[in-house]
Amino acid sequence: MTAVLGVGLLALIAVSALALVRTDDVTCQTMALSFYGLLLALMFFVFRAPDVALAQITVGAIALPLMVMLAITRMKHREARRRKEKEPS
């Protein structure tokens, strides 16, 4: 059972790793990153590593995408402000 699940999950991870680096749009990529993090966490559960799985869920699937989103938001925000300042009002 573990073998079937493990082989399948690893194949899925291998495919999504390639998909993740081939995604050029950064916002889409953040979503994909979250999914990829969840897949990894699932794999940790399957291979009897609950501690790491918990850490991976909290970090890989939540904290990392959150940080990326915050960074993107901040950059967009700065861009909007820059545009607003340029407009003659």
Binding footprint of another protein on the chain (CB under 8 A): 3-4, 6-7, 10-11, 13-14, 17-18, 20-24, 26, 29-30, 33, 36, 40, 43-44, 47-56, 58-60, 62-64, 66-68, 70-75, 77-78, 81
44 or 88, CB closer to another protein? 44
Tell me, what amino acid is at 41? A
Q: What does the alpha-carbon distance between residue 89 and residue 85 come to, in Å, rounded to a whole number? A: 9
48 or 88, CB closer to another protein? 48
Per-residue DSSP letter, 49: -
Q: Find out whether 29 and 23 touch, Cβ atoms under 8 Å.
A: yes
